[in-house]
């Protein structure tokens, strides 16, 4: 069978059967890579290893969801600029175009000594190299009174999916002139400017449908990403609507009462008509099961994204401790390419090039007012070091801010094609 | 008109022949390039530049003429062209890396 038709066949088989059982012993000389997690880190790694090895590496992607809704641009949906379907993607491109075996299951455990991943069905996957890219889990108990049981009352909406749709509904249905409370997470967390872009997008929605509404941000931090740019934007577009209260002023959130919709702080007790509460975060559970974590996150080798605990395991994206890179989809996508190059080199002898990373985060404050921050990075001995960086300027022209928004839309199309096509 | 175009063609061919020892900066940079290295480096570009189809804000670069590619990257590197993202990306590329990227992208199928 020719390379293309074999790949097509493998892809179609994976696409149509959905779940495939694999023997736990490698059958041939073709090395095997298993990727856990089909987001910006995992999907990109699977795609690049399969694409660039041209069939010389067998790649299996384990991802529970058949349709993946990106976290990035979920705020743009919350602002009413996109419909929810437009941030959903499937895995057919990876299986049909790239020959990746896509298995829609949960990975439940990893046996690093025998290099085996166990799936929820009981099936096992053998690997030569394993990529762990599970994203985040939420530490619900980091906020007294908050729990998974009340997450539909006060959505976190920090892992995309139905929680984001729920939050949009609650924003749209909040009583006229009501108060919306936003509780951002403490550092480190997924998408540093995300909570503040979210506030901007909710304010944009309120400006049209609920113009006397108020937004109170009870921040567990004394400062935040792109603070000057956001605050200037809020002043310009939503004067009097948004109040940001620093941890130094409210003294910490002592308790959250989801029944009464109340937030108790040293400063005051805040009553909400709708709320978004984002707790502290940690690496996804499978990273802990694989034993590659040190506390909440997973230390990596800056030159390769290999786990410091196991050279056959690579940890990508939010789950990794990749300081100085922020936890973002862009970062995960960038790290995946370094890991893919390193993995191919180890398994097929292809040339391994020096690690180079980059990140850019766009944030929409109001229609055609978009700000960005970014940096390029190189591998240092201990950390991923910043090489150069930039941030939008306070005195940018309105044309520049509008061009940033168009750029972010093109980036969205670019990165999702880079992950899924 | 056709005759004029033909004359220009003859003239440029002659010039290329006559001055072939004197390569432009762009050509010299392209000669330093390596396609395999360009493929690795080019993965960074694919995060934003779509591989198929044109777009309004971020242009397609697949199939771009290698000399044009080099000239653009040099202009971003020296900050003659604006856009902080591209200035950052180009700012850390040396001539060999720019040449490698130019070679890699010029041999890809341009978007339809």
Which of B37, B43, B53, B56 to mutate against chain A (most A CBs within 10 Å)? B43
Instruction: Report pTM.
Output: 0.90
In chain A, how many H helices and how many E strands?
12, 24
Residues of chain A with CATH 3.50.50.60: 3-135+284-354, 149-280
Whether residue A376 and residue B55 make contact (CB cut-off 8 A), yes or no, is no
Cβ contacts (< 8 Å) between B104 and chain A: which residues? none
* A149-280: CATH topology: FAD/NAD(P)-binding domain (3.50.50)
β strands within A184-305, DSSP E: 214-218, 242-245, 253-257, 262-265, 269-271, 274-277, 280-283, 298-299
**B89 and chain A: CB distance < 8 Å anywhere?**
yes
**B61 and chain A: CB distance < 8 Å anywhere?**
no
Percent of chain A's residues with pLDDT above 70: 93
What is each CA distance from B7 to A175, A292, A364, in whole angstroms?
76, 69, 53
Indicate the DSSP class of residue A308. Answer: S
Cβ contacts (< 8 Å) between B87 and chain A: which residues? 390
Whether residue B88 and residue A417 make contact (CB cut-off 8 A), yes or no, is no
In this predicted structure, the answer to whether residue A21 has a pLDDT above a threshold of 50 is no
pLDDT digits (tens, 9 = 90+) for B41-84: 999 999 999 877 666 789 999 999 999 999 999 999 999 999 99
Asked if residue B34 lies in contact with residue B40, where contact means CB atoms within 8 angstroms, the answer is no
**B40 and chain A: CB distance < 8 Å anywhere?**
yes
Cβ contacts (< 8 Å) between A406 and chain B: which residues? 56-57
User: Averaged over A24-33, what is the pLDDT?
Assistant: 70
Q: Which pLDDT belongs to residue A29?
A: 82
Whether residue A421 and residue B56 make contact (CB cut-off 8 A), yes or no, is no
Indicate the DSSP class of residue A86. Answer: G
Q: Which pLDDT belongs to residue A10?
A: 42
Q: Which pLDDT belongs to residue B51?
A: 78
Question: What is the signed CA dihedral for A319, A323, A326, A330, rounded to 10 degrees?
Answer: -70
Q: Which pLDDT belongs to residue B13?
A: 53
Tokens of A241: 């609507």
Domains of chain B (ranges; CATH) run 24-106 (1.10.760.10)
Q: Which pLDDT belongs to residue B48?
A: 93
In this predicted structure, the answer to whether residue A45 has a pLDDT above a threshold of 70 is yes
User: Averaged over A408-419, what is the pLDDT?
Assistant: 96
Cβ contacts (< 8 Å) between B111 and chain A: which residues? none
- Nearest residue, CB atoms, B50 vs list A341, A372, A417: A417
* A3-135+284-354: CATH topology: FAD/NAD(P)-binding domain (3.50.50)
Whether residue A330 and residue B47 make contact (CB cut-off 8 A), yes or no, is yes
Whether residue B39 and residue A52 make contact (CB cut-off 8 A), yes or no, is yes
Q: Angle A329-348/A398-420 helices, nearest 10 degrees?
A: 40
In this predicted structure, the answer to whether residue B8 has a pLDDT above a threshold of 70 is no
Cβ contacts (< 8 Å) between B52 and chain A: which residues? 417, 421
Q: Which pLDDT belongs to residue B50?
A: 86
**B85 and chain A: CB distance < 8 Å anywhere?**
yes
Whether residue A390 and residue B88 make contact (CB cut-off 8 A), yes or no, is yes
**B37 and chain A: CB distance < 8 Å anywhere?**
yes
Which residues 1-30 on chain B approach chain A with CB closer than 8 angstroms?
none
In this predicted structure, the answer to whether residue A177 has a pLDDT above a threshold of 60 is yes
Go through A330-348 and write b for each residue having 16 or more CB atoms within 10 A of its CB, e for each that does not.
bbbbbbbbbbbbbbbebbe
Residue A24 and residue A409: Cα distance in Å, rounded?
A: 42
């Amino acid at each position: 069978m020719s390379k293309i038709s074999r790949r097509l066949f493998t892809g179609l088989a994976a696409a149509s059967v959905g779940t495939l059982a694999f023997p736990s012993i490698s059958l041939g000389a073709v090395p095997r890579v298993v990727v856990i997690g089909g987001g910006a880190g995992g999907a990109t790694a699977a795609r690049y290893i399969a694409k660039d090895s041209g069939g010389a590496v067998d790649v299996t992607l384990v991802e529970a969801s058949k349709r993946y809704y990106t976290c990035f641009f979920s705020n743009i949906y919350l602002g009413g600029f996109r419909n929810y379907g437009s941030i959903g993607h499937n895995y057919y491109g990876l299986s049909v175009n790239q020959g990746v075996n896509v298995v829609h299951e949960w990975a439940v455990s990893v046996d690093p000594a025998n290099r085996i991943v166990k799936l929820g069905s009981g099936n096992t996957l053998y690997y030569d190299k394993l990529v762990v890219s599970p994203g985040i889990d939420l530490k619900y108990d980091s906020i007294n009174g908050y729990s998974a049981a009340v997450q539909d009352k006060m959505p976190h909406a920090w892992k995309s999916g139905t929680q984001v749709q729920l939050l949009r509904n609650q924003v749209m249905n909040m009583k006229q002139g009501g108060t919306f409370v936003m509780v951002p997470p403490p550092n480190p967390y997924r998408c540093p400017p995300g909570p503040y872009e979210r506030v901007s997008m909710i304010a944009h929605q309120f400006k049209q449908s609920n113009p006397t509404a108020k937004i109170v941000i009870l921040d567990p931090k004394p400062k935040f990403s792109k603070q000057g740019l956001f605050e200037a934007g809020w002043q310009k577009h939503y004067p009097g609507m948004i109040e940001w209260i620093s941890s130094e002023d409210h003294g910490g959130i002592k308790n959250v009462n989801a029944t009464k919709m109340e937030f108790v702080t040293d400063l005051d007790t805040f009553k909400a008509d709708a709320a978004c509460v984002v707790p502290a975060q940690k690496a996804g559970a499978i990273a802990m099961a694989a034993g590659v974590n040190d506390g909440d996150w997973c230390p990596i080798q800056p030159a390769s994204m290999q786990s410091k605990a196991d050279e056959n395991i690579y940890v990508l994206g939010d789950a990794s401790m990749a300081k100085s890179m922020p936890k973002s989809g862009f970062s995960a996508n960038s790290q995946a390419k370094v890991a893919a190059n390193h993995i191919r080199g180890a398994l097929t002898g292809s040339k391994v090039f020096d690690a180079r990373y980059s990140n850019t985060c766009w944030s929409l404050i109001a229609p055609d007012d978009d700000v960005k921050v970014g940096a390029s990075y190189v591998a240092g001995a201990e950390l991923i070091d910043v090489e150069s960086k930039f941030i939008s300027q306070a005195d940018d022209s309105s044309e520049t801010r509008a061009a940033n928004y168009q750029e972010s839309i093109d980036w969205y199309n670019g990165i999702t094609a880079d992950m899924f096509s | 008109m056709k005759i004029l175009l033909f004359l220009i063609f003859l003239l440029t061919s002659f010039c290329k022949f006559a001055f072939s020892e004197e390569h432009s900066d762009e050509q010299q940079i392209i000669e330093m390039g390596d396609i395999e290295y360009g493929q690795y480096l080019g993965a960074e570009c694919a995060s934003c530049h779509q591989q198929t189809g044109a777009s309004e804000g971020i242009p397609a670069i697949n199939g771009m003429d290698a000399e044009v590619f080099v000239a653009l990257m040099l202009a971003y590197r020296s900050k003659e062209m604006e856009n902080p993202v591209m200035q950052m990306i180009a700012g850390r590329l040396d001539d060999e890396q720019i040449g490698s990227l130019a070679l890699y992208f010029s041999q890809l199928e341009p978007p339809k």
